[in-house]
Amino acid sequence: MKKLTIVGAILFVSVLTLGQGNLIIYGWSDYIPSEVIEAFSQEYGVNVTYDSYDSNETMFAKIKAGARGYDLAMPSADYTSIMIKEDMLIPIDKSLIPNLVNIDPSVIEQMYYDPENTYSIPYMVGTTGIAVNTKYVESYPRSWKIFELPQFKGMMSLLDDMREVFGAALKFLGYSVNTTDTAELQAAKELILTWKENIAKFDSELFAKGVLSGEFWVVHGYGENIFYEATEEELEDIDFFIPVEGSTLWIDSFVILKGAKNIDNAHLFINYILRPDVAAKISDYLLLPSPNVPARELMEEEPVYSAKEMENTELIKDLGEDLRIYNSLWNEIRFGL
């Protein structure tokens, strides 16, 4: 045990000797607390630039189209898999990420697309659900069926995210969120078209503000976004739940992009994020259960949902060529093409 401790200490020191210079991150909006980034910058003397996106599709399209200058991105599992296959990432030097040992092994086990963490390091795990503003809605099913109800017509929104919306419909119908069965997908499309008649819009950016202000009464979205935006008084009227039929599971990871110029600082930042005290601050900020085991003991806030509540969720997977079926049906839904 002493030998392992010494080796770990040497690795930790080697990481600490890095720093200075720049780091450019392309990540989800409001996903890393600004104070965490600032503390990292102060501790290591690294100037961090954080550019944000609102969907995996946006991030992937921009990088695939040739956007340069980014060091780190934070794709979800299916897009991490795609980016590995598309040769868009560089291997991670895990000797520079000793804090990887803090990640729950059950999370690593879910990463079928990168089981050895060759290209990706988990950042956060969570699910997607429904938020209802009970100031305007008194009685409702805790189910995806809520989007069929005519009394809420024009006061609801769905995420502008193909896999999340299909995942919701497929779960409601009792199918896998990763099905490639054309009959099942067609049934899901028809259901989504029914939902579309009742929603005000597909929205992945302003759903949190919308449900808090009363612009929308029911929204499909991420609980952490809503709780981040809300005051304590506003939260008294918000009921966020994972529908009884289940929902999608997501794993967002750090990846180092091909063409990155600040590779050492990218490793340094990932390792810093996996430090238990830092990971606890992040989970408290996002109000999500932490995938970082020692961080769980340091958290001070109650998460939006527990790990147990996520038991009936299913990881969105990369479907390869079969994704074209989803794309075609999604274009029909969104644009009538």
Q: What would the DSSP string read from start to end of 98-158?
A: GGGGGB-HHHHHH-TTSTT-SS-EEEEEEE-EEEEETTT-----SSGGGGG-GGGTTSEEE
The b/e string for 39-73 (b: 16+ C-beta within 10 A; e otherwise) is ebeeebebebeeeebbbbbebbeebeeeeeebbbb
Contact 202, 147 (CB under 8 A): no
All residues at 6 or more sequence positions from 306 whose CB lies less than 8 Å from its CB, including other chains: 289
- State the SS3 of 211-238: HHHCCCCEEEECHHHHHHHCCHHHHCCE
> Per DSSP, what are the bridge partners of residue 253?
122
Q: How far is CA 166 from CA 131, 296, 316, in A?
A: 18, 32, 10
Of the candidates 244, 241, 79, the residue with the CA atom closest to the CA atom of residue 163: 79
Given a contact cutoff of 8 angstroms between Cβ atoms, the answer to whether 48 and 225 are in contact is no
User: How many Å is the Cα radius of gyration of the chain?
Assistant: 20
Find the angle CA(85)-CA(123)-CA(87) to the nearest 5 degrees. Answer: 15
DSSP 8-state code for residue 291: S
Which residue is it, tokens 């503390």?
39
Q: Using the CB atoms, write b or e for 149-187: b if 16+ within 10 Å.
A: eeebeebbbbbbbbbbbbbbbbbbeebebbbeeeebbeb
Structure tokens at 149: 């109800």
Q: Which residues pair with 130 in a beta bridge?
A: 220, 241
Which structure tokens are listed for 256? 């180092």
Ranges of the chain with pLDDT below 70 = 1-19, 337
Please check whether residue 251 is in contact with residue 74, taking contact to mean a CB–CB distance below 8 angstroms: no
Length of the chain: 337
The residue type of 217 is: W
CA dihedral (327, 331, 332, 337) in degrees, to 10, reads -120
- Residues contacting 243, CB < 8 A, separation 6+: 129, 130, 142, 143, 144, 168, 171, 172
Question: CA 129 to CA 244: how far, in whole Å?
Answer: 10
pLDDT at 308: 80
What is the predicted pLDDT for the residue at 17? Answer: 44
Nearest to residue 52, comparing CAs of 74, 35, 67? 74
Q: How many CB atoms lie within 10 A of CB 114?
A: 21
List beta partners, residue 28.
53
Q: Which residue matches tokens 């000793």?
A: 98
Distance CA 283, CA 302 (A): 9
Q: What is the pLDDT of residue 229?
A: 87
d(CA 105, CA 187): 36
